[in-house]
Structure 1
Amino acid sequence: MPDSPLRQAALEVESHVGAEGWDQPPRLFALVPTADLIAKEPGLADQLSDDPASMTPVEQELPADRELEDLLTEIVWPEAVIGCAAVVERIMLPPEAEAALPDDPEELLAVVAAHPDRREVRLVAAVVRDGGAHSAVRAREPHDAELLEGPDLVPGLIEHLRRTLA
């Protein structure tokens, strides 16, 4: 996997959120140039990367009573923010299970929660204004599950984030 400041920011967000365990609400981060942050807050220099191209994730406070996807339709970042990242926990089913899923939302939740092949995952998506993206997925089980990463593992979340930067 080629390294980049965006990849490093996405991995930093995943590590930060992962250190706090599972069963967390969605999290949203602004990505700002580390050099700009240090210029405005020199006292942070010892805590931040000295790479002039790096980005620093800055967590945003989210209302607990709203879905992240709905909130993202209302967010427009200021120019100082060069990207953003989001973290959500979801339940994934294998593709072959989709055909048997009910249409009723309440029934769907019950079926998914009881499905023997469901997997709880943490999804991380990060995007920048120039269109770049990086994503990561970690399963809850096994405890030492490998982090999968790539530019487009969670395309829906990436697209939601890109719209906030337009």
Structure 2
Amino acid sequence: MAESQPESEPHSQVRPQTHVNTSVSSAAREVEEFLAAGGWDQPVQLFALVATDELLAKQPDLREQLDPRNPLTPVAQDQLPESDLAEALAGIVWPDTVHGCALAQEIIVLPPEAEQDLPDSGEDADGSEAGATPDAERLRRAAADHPHRTEARLVAAVTRDGARACVMRLRAQQRSGDRPGDQHSADEEPLDLPVDEVIEHPDLAPNLLDALEATLYP
């Protein structure tokens, strides 16, 4: 994971015709694991996906931080505004040095039977914000207050050759009545700590993936 931003170059007006193995799934997992190490309650974050060999050629001092076996390296960008993510993405155009991009956001996930109780919205079923209608804020409030909600972190990634990947981490539910830092007496039976569940599927957030893909082609 690199934190410096790639140098700007003239934008290409033509989509590349050569298919390149960009390992977008590996890049999406790397982004999610990087963010997971920092815990929850993080803002929306955007990453450029750049060729690792090209990045090392320009910045050899990063050699000890990067794995040259990974074709793509995520590069963290400036923080995006959370108020209107779709508008922010619509204003982004990447330089040619960027082979793809990834976005991470924390969302609320509901079971299918709970979604029928929510107001209609143009959002993805996962609650991601890109392409949302004016009713999106009302939907998010309703989902956040739902008793069967699950907090999650979604990472969506795309590349110029059309590859897509999504990784979603579902936040583990605490035992009823427990609070962070609670201590239990020695005679209580030990309980397994809750473990996050991680799901991977390229179609978890089609609207968000479409919005990210649009940033790659001016």
TM-score (norm 1): 0.88
In the TM superposition, residue 50 of structure 1 has moved relative to its aligned partner by 2.0
In the TM superposition, residue 63 of structure 1 has moved relative to its aligned partner by 4.3
Q: Does 1:144 align with 2:195?
A: yes
Q: Per residue, is there more strand in 1 or in 2?
A: 1
Per-residue CA deviation, residues 22-70 of structure 1 (Å, 9 max, x unaligned), is: 111100000000000011011112221122x611100001244643222
Structure 1: distance between partners of 2:101 and 2:91: 14
Structure 2: distance between partners of 1:80 and 1:56: 12
- Evaluate the alpha carbon distance shift between residue 19 and residue 67 of structure 1 in structure 2; reply closer, same or farther with a 3 A threshold: farther
Structure 2: distance between partners of 1:127 and 1:106: 26
Percentage of matched positions with identical amino acids: 48
The one of 47, 70, 73 aligned to 2:65 = 47
CA RMSD of aligned residues (A): 2.1
Structure 1: distance between partners of 2:82 and 2:26: 30
In the TM superposition, residue 4 of structure 1 has moved relative to its aligned partner by 6.5
- Evaluate the alpha carbon distance shift between residue 97 and residue 146 of structure 1 in structure 2; reply closer, same or farther with a 3 A threshold: closer
* Match of residue 76 from structure 1: 93
Gaps of 5+ in 2: 1-20, 121-134, 174-193
Structure 2: distance between partners of 1:46 and 1:107: 46
Q: Per residue, is there more helix in 1 or in 2?
A: 1
Larger Rg: 2
Q: Does 1:155 align with 2:186?
A: no
- Evaluate the alpha carbon distance shift between residue 45 and residue 96 of structure 1 in structure 2; reply closer, same or farther with a 3 A threshold: same
- Evaluate the alpha carbon distance shift between residue 155 and residue 42 of structure 1 in structure 2; reply closer, same or farther with a 3 A threshold: same
SS at structure 2 position matched to 1:151: coil
Gaps of 5+ in 1: none
- Evaluate the alpha carbon distance shift between residue 108 and residue 134 of structure 1 in structure 2; reply closer, same or farther with a 3 A threshold: closer
The one of 9, 23, 30 aligned to 1:5 = 23
Structure 2: distance between partners of 1:24 and 1:148: 19
TM-score (norm 2): 0.68
Number of residue equivalences: 163
Structure 1: distance between partners of 2:83 and 2:203: 25
